[in-house]
A and B are shown apart, each in its own frame.
Chain A
Amino acid sequence: MSAPTSRLENLPFDAVHAGLALLVLSVVFLVSPLFVQPPGGSFVFFEVGVLFFLYAMILVGLNLQFGHAGLVNFGPVAFFAVGGYAAAILTANDPYQAVGLGFPWPVGVVAAVLAAAALGVLIGVSTLRLRDDFLAIVTLAVAEIVHGLIIAFRDVTGGTVGLTSVPRPIAGTTDVGGGAALVSTILVFAALALFFYGVFRRLSSSPYGRVLRAIRADDQVTETLGKRVFRYKIAVFVYGAAIAGLAGALLVFYNGAAAEGFFTIDVTVIVWVGMLIGGAGNDRGVIGGLAIIMGFQLVTRFFNDAIPFITQDQFASIRLMFVGLLLMLIIRYRPEGLWGDADRLGVES
């Protein structure tokens, strides 16, 4: 570990405190008449940034599940979607085609977390005894089922049209227009992401996290040591589900709408690839990995206009090809990721 990072370790406050402080600051900023109007060309940075913080929240849960406890959850987007739709259905006012109950937004947030956690319990209890690769398939199938249900039950969810008229609590407080709401949103989301990053990091660096890593290494031995392995697995699964659900609620409150297009398998792929680039199990590393893959998404947006003879569709495909190629190269040549620990992960590099 290099000098600057170890100095970072020794700071008198950690990410939880920093997150809380930033949250307070951003709320103060929100209620104050102050606002920041970003230049028009920078909106794309903010939009990708907002997604980065939401995906980071999903990722800290996923990293606890896979990086620390070894649970191959291939459906984080399912919990993200359930959270998003739970929040949207409860809070939307008179949507075009769907159910909107018009409750205030905090009800939506709570419902999103509870709904996603409940799905986590349901899936966890029934599937966590399966072998790794079968768990991956089941969780992926769950994500597909959720997606299928969203499209099929159009009377409730709005189907492919989506569910509009969802309140936008953050944008609502800054009604000066332009990109001012975007700045406020990104501040709040960053604060929340930092806070939850800290909470999950505390969890993983405590004795609790050591039990999880023991489970990943050998769950039968851990069981013999008197740890209720299955209970730990369920708990970790539910924590990850709950935070993904919260992220889903934040997304619909940011967009003022829920649509099936926000919750496709691409979310799962991006979060997984970010985790693998950074090095599963390294809490800071995975965020770095996510920054790299999201940075790639951002930078390549500008390439689109620069390269002639390529349609937008083709460009999107080429981008996904690179994501796939990156995944293959990482798995093949650096399975521990950029910052991961090969010995601890038990992979051969």
Chain B
Amino acid sequence: MEIPLAQEIIFGLVIGSYIALGAIGFTLVYGLVNMINFAHGEFITVGAFVGYLAVVFGGLSIPVAVVVALVITAIVGWVIARVTFEPMNEAGAVPLLLMSIGLGLVLRNGFRVIAGADRRSLPRDVTTYRFDDWGFFVTSQQLFIIGVTLVAVVVLHVFLSRTMLGIAMRATSDNEDLALVSGIDTRRIRNAVWLAASGLAGVAGVMLAVSQSANPTVGFGQLLLIITAAILGGAGSPYGAIVGSYLLGIGITVSVAFLPSGLSELNATMAFVVLIVVLLVRPGGLVNAEVRTS
């Protein structure tokens, strides 16, 4: 059956939403700590399990579980970063990358030992709203995911543009040395970044637990999409990451219409092709970031 374009765009907005929640945190860490964090997907998985536990065992409603996951994942991510990445802050991009790969392996398999490979779904109470004239429907669950992401984006914007900490964060991301001599406590900034990035990952995790399931690889499965979105938007730029995420999300769903039916499962693979093409043709992404050496 032919799926109308409007419907594909709705699906794309949903996918873009949880990619965005991951990509904003990923790109903040890239911009300020100067590392590609391969364990970012595992932070998302932490959020998914915290959200699941809060709903199923804590008896909380899903919106409350989002807040709980945000706070707990923020703290967990911050503690992990203090122990693993911060002591080797000066080591350079590749050692930090390798460190995060090791950390990802430990966490991901740790989840699997504790939780098994089962897929645990949150109880769903879904209402469907039909807009037959325009040829699409949207569920309350999808609206919730898009809505939470919009709230997060607005809060982030206010934080980055109106608060001292947020402005200092942007300054540090632009030029760490300059920020340091202007009296910005860059260590405090880094702490804030780890808290913010992990917190957003926690929210992304609950969204994934709602729409898919809480399982040990739920976050890792999003990682390359998140990296693609962040680079598409210009690595280090949170606003770029948001745009990149929605472009990628809609691109993935709409491209299904153009791919031969047997190859529709290739759309994640297509995303990596996009990643490579972006890096080659416009390595700075939509805004300009420096990724080439020569």
Contact = CB atoms under 8 A, between A and B. Distances in A.
Interface stretch (A45-53, A99-107, A109-117, A314-322): A314-322
Interface in B88-137: 88, 90-91, 93-95, 97-99, 101-106, 108-110, 112-113, 116-117
B269 A127 contact: no
Contacts of A327: 98-99, 101-102, 105
A153 B262 CA distance: 8
Given A145-B273, A332-B88, A130 B283 contact: yes
B102 A325 contact: yes
Contacts of B280: 126-127
Given A269-B101, A332-B88, A145 B269 contact: yes
A132 B97 CA distance: 10
Closest 6 CB pairs between A and B?
A: A324-B105, A327-B102, A148-B269, A328-B102, A317-B109, A324-B106
Contact of A321 (B110, B231, B293): B110
Contacts of B292: 129-131
Contacts of B109: 317-318, 320-321, 324
B84 to A, nearest CB: 7
A219 B292 CA distance: 13
A15 interface: no
B286 interface: no
A335 interface: yes
A219 B105 contact: no
B36 interface: yes
Interface of B: 35-36, 84, 87-88, 90-91, 93-95, 97-99, 101-106, 108-110, 112-113, 116-117, 224, 227-228, 231, 262-263, 265-266, 268-269, 272-273, 275-276, 279-280, 283, 290-294
Contact of A335 (B95, B106, B116): B95
Contacts of B293: 129-132, 219
Contacts of B117: 313
Given A131-B93, A317-B112, A331-B99, 19 more contacts: A72-B94, A127-B276, A127-B279, A130-B291, A132-B93, A132-B94, A134-B283, A141-B276, A148-B266, A153-B263, A219-B293, A219-B294, A320-B108, A321-B109, A325-B102, A327-B105, A328-B99, A332-B88, A348-B90
Interface string A151-182: 11100000000000000000000000000000
Contacts of A126: 276, 280
22 contacts: A127-B276, A127-B279, A132-B293, A133-B93, A134-B279, A137-B36, A137-B275, A138-B276, A141-B224, A145-B276, A151-B265, A152-B263, A269-B101, A324-B105, A326-B102, A327-B102, A331-B88, A331-B98, A332-B84, A332-B88, A335-B91, A347-B95
A313 B272 contact: no
Contacts of A138: 275-276, 279
